[in-house]
Structure 1
Amino acid sequence: MELLPSLLSALKAVDPGTVDQEYNMVRSQSVSLKRELGLTTEAGALKENIKKNRYKDILPYDQSRVVLSLPTTDSNSDYINASFIRGATGDCHYIACQGPLSSTLTDFWRMIWQFDVQVIIMACREIEMGKRKCECYWAAAHQPATFGPFTVSSQGETQPNDDMVIRTMDVTFQQITRSVTHYQFLSWPDHDVPYETSGVLDLLERARTSQGAHTSPLLIHCSAGCGRTGVICALNYIHDLLVSKKITKDFSILEIVLELRRQRPSAVQTKDQYQFIFTAVTSLLERFLQASQHQLYCNLPEQKKPETRSTTARVSSAKRLSQQVTMNDTYAVVNKPKQPQVPPSGPAYSIVANPRSSSGARTLPLSHHYDNDSAGASAAAPIYSTVKPRAKPHSLALSATPIYDIAEPANHRPREGPQYTLVSADHLTADDDDYEDFSSSVSDMTGFCSPGGIGFNCRVQKPRGPRDPPAEWSRLER
C-alpha cells in the first residue's frame, strides 16, 4: 500500500512524448515477440475458417486461441476468432473475442456454454459510422431468440446512465438453463477513446460484482476484439494486481500491454488507446487510495466520528430558540425618540445567496455587497434590499442516442436548485417590505425567526400595521 502514492505521482509526471515513444516500442517489440515465440495463425487462415473472421488481418494465435469442443447439429468446427488471456493470478481469466458475425452466432453461444461464461462485456455498438460492427446475439424483451440449439430470453434490461446498457438473459440448451449478465458500453468510438475514464471504470466495477467468486472467464469483445477489448483487459488486469497486492516497484504499462499482445494480436490498437490506459490507471489508483483511507478511518474504534449535519442543525436551532425565549423574558424593546439620522460610518450589508457553484454547493460571497452606498441617498430610504428567486430555467429535452463524435460527458448534469438575483433598493415599490425576504424550505415556523433566516431582528416580530410604531412604544421606561 505504501507503494501506491509513489506510483500515482510517477504516472501523473509522465510526459506525453514518453507515452508516444513507449507505444512505438510496443509496436516494434510485438513483431519481434511474434518471431521469437514462434506465434502462428494457421487455424484462422484455413480456407473453411477465413469467412469466420471479421477482419482478415486479425487472426488468433494458435497457441492461445479458444478451441470449441461442444458439438451441435449446426456446427462441429472447433474454430472461433477468440483468444484466452491470462489474469493477474495466472489462470485464463479472460476471453478476448471479435463481435460475432451472422455466420458465427451459434459458435459464439457454443463458446459461452462450453466455458460457462456468466458475464459479457461488449465495448461497441451494433452499427458504428454506418458500418455493422457486431451482430445482435441477445433477445428483445418478451421475444425469445434462437441461435441453433440455444434459446435466449430476456429477463430485463436497464440503462443506469448514458454510457451503458445492462441485460440479464437466460440461456437454455438441452433443457438446462443458465443466467448471463450482459454489459454493453455505448460511449467508446471505434479506434478512439472515451471522453472520460469514470464510465469505463464504473462498468468494470459492476462487471466484477456480477462475476463475484465465479471462476469462469470474463468474455470481452468489441468489433475486432483487439483495440477496445485490449484496453479493458489491461485495466481489469491492473485492478487485480492492486487487489492481490502483486503490484511492484517496476510496474510497467508497457510490459502489461506486451504481455497482452503475446496472447491476442494488436491488443491496444492505437496510440490514443495506450495513452488512455495511463489516464484511467491514474484514476484507478486515486479511487483505490481513497477507498483504503476510508476503510482505515472506519477501522479506528477510538476516533470519534463527526455528527451528521442534520443532527448539528437541530441542536443549533433548539439552542438558538431557547436563547430567544430567555431574552424575550428579560429585556424590553424600547423605541428611542426620533433624531436626525447620521449616515453610518460603515455601509449596510446584505448577505445574499450566490448562484450555485460548479460543484453544486451554495457558497457565500467572499465580500459583502453594499446596498446603500449610492450618493445622496435619502435617510428614509429602505435599508435592506429584497432578494427574489430567479425563475428556474426549463431543462433541455434529451436528444436521441448520441453519435460518438458529438457525445456529451456523462457527468454533465444541468445545475439544480434555485438561482437568486439582487434587486436594487431604488426600484422597490411601496408594497415592498423593509426587510430582506429569503425563501425557506422550512414550513414549520415555531419561533420568531425561521431556521433559514439570516438571524437579525429575531427578538421583535415584524410590524403588521403602518411603519410608525404605536405611541406607547415611544415612552422611555425609567
Structure 2
Amino acid sequence: MELLPSLLSTLKTLDPGTLDQEYSMVRSQTQTLKRDLSLTTEAGALKENIKKNRYKDILPYDQSRVLLSLLTTKSDSDYINASFIKGVTADNKYIASQGPLSSTVIDFWRMIWQHDVKVIVMACREVEMGKKKCECYWAPFHQSAAFGPFTVSNQEETIHTVNFIHELFSLLLLQTSRSLIQYQFLSWPDHDIPYEATGVLDLLERARNSQGTHTSPVLIHCSAGCGRTGVICALDYIHDLLVTKQITSDFSIKKIVLELRRQRPAAVQTKDQYQFIFTAVACMFEQVLQSAKSQLYCNVSELKKPKKKTTTPASSKRLSDQIDMNDTYAVVNKPKQPHPPPTNPAHPAAVQPSKTRSLPLATHYDNASAGASAAPVYSTVKPRIKPHSLKVSATSLYDNTILSSHSPGEGAPSGINREYHLVSAEHLSSTDHDYEDISSPVADKTSLCSAGGIGFNCRIQKPRGPRDPPAEWSHLER
C-alpha cells in the first residue's frame, strides 16, 4: 500500500510516445521468448484442427493449450483453441479462449463441463462491424437450447447500464445439472479500447464476487481470445497482486504482458490496448487508495463519536440509580445549619445527614429510620398517578400542582400541559437522569419550605385549614 502513491504518480506521468516504444519492445521480445522457450503450435496446425480455428494466425501454444478429455462421440478430439493462463495464486487461474464457431460450440461446452467453469467473461458481441465474431452458445432468456448432449437453459438476464449483461445459465448433461454465470461486455470494439476504464473494472469486480471461493478457472474469451482477452487477464492479475500484497518497487506492466504472451499468442494485441492497461491500472490504484482513505476516516470518526447511552430496564432503575448516587452524591442532604433531632422519626423529612461515601448494596442507609427499609432520599416530580397506598381525603384542596398555567421560563417547558403530584420519596422510584436537590430537613410541619431556597425543589405542606384574613380586610368602606 505504501508504494501505490508513487506508482500511481509514475503511471500518470508516462508519455504516450514512451508507451509506444515500450509496446514495440514487447512485440520484439515476444519473438525472442518464443524462440528461447521453443514454443510450438503443432496441434492447432494439424489438418483436422485447422477448421476449428477462427483465425489461422492465432493458434494456441502446445505447452499451455487446453486438452479436452471429456468425450461425447467417437469422433471427438482433444483440441480446442484455448490456453491456460497462470494467476497469482493458481497455475490455471484463467482459460483464454477464442469465441466458439458453429462447429466448435459442443467442444466449448465440453471444456466448460470438464473444468467445472463457474464464471464466463465474454468481451465481444456476436456480430461486430458486420462480421460474425462469436457463435451464440447459449439460449434466449427463459428458454433452453440443446448443443449435442448438453442442454443450456437461460434462467436470468440482467442488463447493467450499457456496458455489460449478466446471465445465469443452467447446464444439463446426463441428468446432472450445474449453474454458471456469464458476463458479456458490450462496450469494447474489436482492436480498440473502451471509452472508460471503470466499466471494465466494475465487470471484473462482479465476476470475482460470482467466482467466490471456487477454484475452477475463469473462462475469458473475445473473438480471437488474445487482444481484449489478454487485457482482462492482465487487469485481474494485477488486482490479485494488490489483494495479496505482492506489489513491489519493480512492478512492471511490461513484464506481466510478456508473461501473458508466453502462454497465449498475441495477448494484448494492439498498442492502444497496451496503453489502456496503464490507464485502467491507474484507475484501480486510485480506487484502492480512496477506499483506504475512506476507511481510515470512518475509523477516526467512529473513535470520536460519543458512546450511546444504554437504557436501563424499569425493574433495575432504582437499583442502578442508588449505586450511582452512592458514588457521586455521598452527602446529598447536608444541612446548612445544624438542627435538633426530629421528634417524629417516621416523618419523611426527618432524616440525618449521611456520613459514609459509599455503602454495600445489601446494607441500609445510616440516615434511614429504625426498622424501615432503605428508601431513596430523593423526591421526584411524577405524573399524576395516585398510588394505591395513599388515602386521598375528599376535603383535600391542594392535592396537586397544575403546571399547565406556567408560561415558558416559569418552571415548566413550553407546550407542556400536564398535572403533577409532589409525592414523598418513600412512595417513588428514582429516575434515570433527573436528580432533585434536597433542601435542609426541618421538623416544623407548618413551614412551607426550608430557608435554603424557594422554588421547584421545595416540599409543599398542606394547610391545616382556612386562615383568618388580615385585619385590614375587615374594614368596610362606606
Which residue does the alignment assign to 2:82? 82
Contact kept, 8 Å, 1:75 with 1:107, in 2: the verdict is no
Cα separation, 2, equivalents of 1:49 and 1:129: 27
Which residue does the alignment assign to 1:72? 72
Which residue does the alignment assign to 2:258? 258
Matched, 1:40 2:34: no
RMSD, matched Cα: 1.8
> What CA deviation, in whole Å up to 9, does each residue of 1:156-190 have, x standing for no partner?
10102101011001000111111010000000000
Which AA in structure 2 matches 1:269? Answer: Q
Which residue does the alignment assign to 2:91? 91
Cα separation, 1, equivalents of 2:167 and 2:206: 12
Contact kept, 8 Å, 2:118 with 2:180, in 1: the verdict is yes
Contact kept, 8 Å, 2:80 with 2:107, in 1: the verdict is yes
Cα separation, 1, equivalents of 2:96 and 2:185: 16
Deviation at 1:256, TM superposition (A): 0.3
Which AA in structure 1 matches 2:181? Answer: T
Which residue does the alignment assign to 1:146? 146
The equivalences for 1:317-332 within 5 A come to none
SS at match of 1:84: strand
SS at match of 2:303: coil
Cα separation, 2, equivalents of 1:221 and 1:305: 49
Which residue does the alignment assign to 1:270? 270
Gaps of 5+ in 1: 307-324, 327-478
Shift in alpha-carbon separation, 1:198–1:301, aligned structure 2, 3 A? closer
Cα separation, 2, equivalents of 1:21 and 1:64: 28
The equivalences for 1:329-478 within 5 A come to none
SS at match of 2:28: helix
Cα separation, 2, equivalents of 1:241 and 1:13: 22
Which residue does the alignment assign to 1:28? 28
Which residue does the alignment assign to 1:303? 303
Cα separation, 2, equivalents of 1:302 and 1:165: 38
TM-score (norm 2): 0.63
Deviation at 1:297, TM superposition (A): 3.1
Cα separation, 1, equivalents of 2:73 and 2:215: 29
Which residue does the alignment assign to 1:125? 125
SS at match of 2:219: strand
Contact kept, 8 Å, 2:152 with 2:170, in 1: the verdict is yes
Which AA in structure 1 matches 2:171? Answer: V
Which residue does the alignment assign to 1:314? none
SS at match of 2:104: helix
Cα separation, 1, equivalents of 2:182 and 2:284: 23
Cα separation, 2, equivalents of 1:304 and 1:169: 48
SS at match of 1:65: coil
Which residue does the alignment assign to 2:112? 112
Which AA in structure 1 matches 2:179? Answer: S
> What CA deviation, in whole Å up to 9, does each residue of 1:224-272 have, x standing for no partner?
0000000000000000000000111000000000000000000000000
Contact kept, 8 Å, 1:100 with 1:108, in 2: the verdict is yes
Deviation at 1:296, TM superposition (A): 2.7
Deviation at 1:302, TM superposition (A): 5.5
Which residue does the alignment assign to 1:181? 181
Deviation at 1:90, TM superposition (A): 4.1
SS at match of 2:80: strand
Shift in alpha-carbon separation, 1:134–1:302, aligned structure 2, 3 A? closer
Contact kept, 8 Å, 2:142 with 2:156, in 1: the verdict is no
SS at match of 2:111: helix
SS at match of 2:84: strand
Cα separation, 1, equivalents of 2:261 and 2:57: 14
SS at match of 2:153: strand
Contact kept, 8 Å, 1:74 with 1:106, in 2: the verdict is no
SS at match of 1:102: coil
Cα separation, 1, equivalents of 2:215 and 2:298: 31
Which residue does the alignment assign to 1:227? 227
Shift in alpha-carbon separation, 1:275–1:2, aligned structure 2, 3 A? same
Which AA in structure 2 matches 1:134? Answer: C
Which AA in structure 2 matches 1:91? Answer: D
Contact kept, 8 Å, 2:124 with 2:188, in 1: the verdict is yes
Deviation at 1:299, TM superposition (A): 3.6
Which residue does the alignment assign to 2:212? 212
> What CA deviation, in whole Å up to 9, does each residue of 1:77-96 have, x standing for no partner?
10000000000124210000
SS at match of 1:199: helix
SS at match of 2:81: strand
Higher Rg = 2
Cα separation, 2, equivalents of 1:285 and 1:94: 23
Which residue does the alignment assign to 1:290? 290
Which AA in structure 2 matches 1:130? Answer: G
Deviation at 1:141, TM superposition (A): 2.0
Deviation at 1:301, TM superposition (A): 7.2
Which residue does the alignment assign to 2:237? 237
Shift in alpha-carbon separation, 1:75–1:115, aligned structure 2, 3 A? farther
Contact kept, 8 Å, 1:75 with 1:106, in 2: the verdict is no
**How many residue pairs get matched?**
310
Shift in alpha-carbon separation, 1:75–1:183, aligned structure 2, 3 A? farther
Which AA in structure 1 matches 2:298? Answer: C
Moved more, 123-132 or 75-84: 75-84
Percent of matched pairs sharing the same residue: 73
Which residue does the alignment assign to 1:60? 60
Cα separation, 1, equivalents of 2:151 and 2:302: 57
SS at match of 1:303: helix
SS at match of 1:79: coil
Cα separation, 2, equivalents of 1:302 and 1:106: 56
Which residue does the alignment assign to 1:167? 167
Cα separation, 1, equivalents of 2:229 and 2:40: 21
SS at match of 2:14: coil
Deviation at 1:300, TM superposition (A): 4.0
Cα separation, 1, equivalents of 2:5 and 2:160: 32
TM-score (norm 1): 0.63
Gaps of 5+ in 2: 307-406, 409-478
Cα separation, 1, equivalents of 2:20 and 2:283: 20
